[in-house]
Structure 1
Amino acid sequence: MSMRYLGFVLLFLLPGVLHAQRAVFCPAPSLDGGYFVPEREQYSQGFKIIYACNEGRKPAVEGWWAEVSCEGGNWSPVPQCIEETSCLQLPKILHAKDTKGSDWYKQGRSVTITCDEGYEVLNGENTAVCSNGAWTSVPICEISPDACRAPPPIPHAVVVGLKYKEVFAENSEVRYECEDGYTVEGSESSKTITCSSGTWTEGPSCIDRTARDTGRGGSAGVGTSGGQSSSTGSRTQPVGGGGRETRPSTGRDEATAGGRGTGGGQSGSAAGGTAGGHSTSTSSITPASGGDSSGGHSRPAIIPVNQCGQYPVVTNGVLVETEPMYLKYQCSNFYKRVGPENVVCYSDGSWSERPHCEEDFCSVDAGQYTHFGEGRTGKLFIQKGQTGTHIPCAWSYYTSLFKCINGKITYTQCCTDYYHKAGRCSTFSH
């Protein structure tokens, strides 16, 4: 009876003994130049401690204090106090590849930036430098002038083999496939277009198989007219594939794509393309949207933007909105727009006036100001305007306010935030 009772006790206690053997603890961290709470000899799994650093140092993470957890017998992340002049990881740069390096960098260290395909660094400067706890001359990735925007849409076709993206590097290739019931006009190789010097090569045309077999119909692509025209009186209507509208005719009209009809009367083809010629019309035609029939040469009508081919590229600008009847552009940081915000497509295949982006910043060498207490070196870009940019000084919590007004630099002495807000910092000009 006693042996059976002892066995029962052992079975009851065994799970607790095994659990005690599996328990994992973290020893108190060794933190050079800092302190933490609470202080114990060991900490259980999942326990969190808070730490801060002595004067002249800071945690190796964002903020002046940090939290770490006991995970599997180790602290995550490892608590560490680094010099205040060191820099944490470089912030993410738009359109640049992530930098693979340390969690932090010592004073004077530099990091080289590589832009994504289709982008290049502004002014060729691809290096950021750690100076007094902050990154200076952080590179900016802008669209390369040799890159292309998204390939043009082609009626009855889709792009195959890749996901949508807004920018393609030079020499990129894109392949189209026609939808069921349509076939590519020309050779099989014409299904592929290439980005060359910022422009896509001519794309394929997808035509109706039935229309092709019967010898009728025009192509549904862009860039060629194609197809026969049937005449009804003095006006012609394209048969088969769609094209661009002609401009409204008032007397003698120079059409985008012309020719003579096959029936009675002279006619201009309404299909967009490269076929030459012009038509002389004596009949009245109602102008399309945007047209002007007041006499003389009419202003081209505004048509959908997908009928003007490759979208315009604005240097230092970004296409931010694509609507059926217009494109909207926005300038990159440190640039301002001059000219119209929206661009439209005209029925003669041309684009309306596009904006251009002018420099809107002052570029200064921070090394010229270090004897005033400024802590950065290298080139700085200061946005124009009254707001200005606070540049860290050599002393903690002190900054100098730089402004770019009418192309000239003004800057204050090194002050705390309180004195800046009170307007009690002396201002100098350069």
Structure 2
Amino acid sequence: QTMLKCNLSLPPTRGTSYTPADRNLFLPDERVTVTCASGFWNSISRRTENTMTCKEDGKWSPSTTDCERITCGDPRDPLVSSPYYWQRGQLRGTQRYNCRTGFKTTNPRGVATCTSDGSWTPEPLCEEITCDKPDILNAVIKDPKTRYKINDLLTYECKMNYELLDSTTRPTATCTTNGWTKTLGCKEIEGACINPTVMNGFIVQSNERNVDPRNSKIYSSCNVGFKPSTGGWWGEATCTEGTWSGILECIDQSQCGRISVIPNTRKVPHSEVYKNEQTVTIDCKVGYTSETKTIKCKDGEWQTPLPACRPQGVPCDPPPKVENAIVKILYKNKYREGFEVNYECRKSFEIEGHKKLTCENGSWTTPPPTCKQYCGKPEGAGRRMEIPDQVLERYENGNQIDYTCINPHKGPGGTATCKNGEWHMPVECNASCPDPPPITNGDFTKEKRDVEGVITEVSYQCSRQFTLSFTGSIRCLDGKWPSPPKCLRPCEISTFDAEYNLQNLPKKDYTAHGEKKTLHCKEGYYHKLKRYSLWNIEEIEMKCDDGELQYGEHMPICNYRYS
């Protein structure tokens, strides 16, 4: 019987090599190693090296071992939006894609790449959109979770003595495709008070809801064996601008509390507690006198009668008027014996003489003061201007000082004169301006210069196809330039492939920033936002945004045909 041989076609197909390489006839059981070049593989085994064996019937096993270019099919990923429209990709080829609602592309640019193992990377192509638990300023999240899904709503509340930064907003946030919706958080309530404590007593908080902590009140009382130093058996405290007033002090029953107000006294002790048998001296104000000079604490009570300070002496008329001055008292027709007034001058005036006068026997002691106008230290001394003489804090009208300007402030200097409380200078020392700031892909055009030729104002223009972020000029102020405009990039529109099935494409290769274009599907083609959408779209609007084309929610591909 004739032994059948296996035939091997030479030369091998592109990307394929055989070992041994110089034979084309093989006996049964002989083997040939098939090796694939870079970028090729066996599409059945998905390997780059395979072995085939000659069988007794003269046929090779396996029968198909030649190498083909490595390609990637559609991803068959349930999270990818419309994966069945993917083109079969070659090695290192790319494919733009979107994910289903609630998921985002693992690649930030939304581009998948065909790899050497025939799969698309990144793996996975889509990941669920989630939000981490946010850190909300001065707030506590209700029922917090470590991770939130898309459209999850969280509610938060401000910490004690804090309020919403914006009272018109709600204390909620929603997890979206772009992260959390904006949450401003909470700010400290100005004027709110922290909870106080009462030694040897207790506090009962108000049960009223929605009470403004800036005007809140608390009530307190003392424990058994103690009493309030202010008398009675309970007390009310009020919060005003962050401070409690009226906080109860509880003292022993055998002690005496605060001395009741005795009109027209001075140097009255302000203690809240006095020991049993303690004696306190009371002094009346000048112009007043009392028959009783002391009071005594006896078994928790002040002995009566209390001292009473009654007027003595002759009252005075209102204090004399002083030009450019005031006295901080209530105006009355008469002022009692011993009453004191203090004069204060207006700004840029200095008091000369005795500023305090006292009423004695119907007249004011000492002549009233006068207010003399002056100039303060020149603004910018040591910074914008140099003064060779010693710099004083005050100068009289008519005083003069010589000065020179300090670099980079310009001006020859001169002599300044104090007039009516203000400095008059023949030349101001102003800062010199540096060169205008440069911009990328542009330059400044129109310019203004000062008398010394220094540029003080410029306008900008961009290179061809670039667009200014704002128009107009910028001006140098006090030696500093504000931020210049930016040149925003154009968008390349020559990248639309024939497979997009578009017509009437713009003839130029670029479109400027901010420019909108309406793309049209070729006749017989249309586009859908979603596969099962009822609406057919034949026009797609795009917009250029600083070098990036914006299409909204879809790519401009007309991949449907009318039947």
TM-score, normalised relative to structure 1: 0.29
- The structure having more radius of gyration, on CA atoms, is 2
Tell which has more relative contact order, 1 or 2 (C-alpha 8 A, sep 6+). 1
Q: Which has the higher helix share?
A: 1
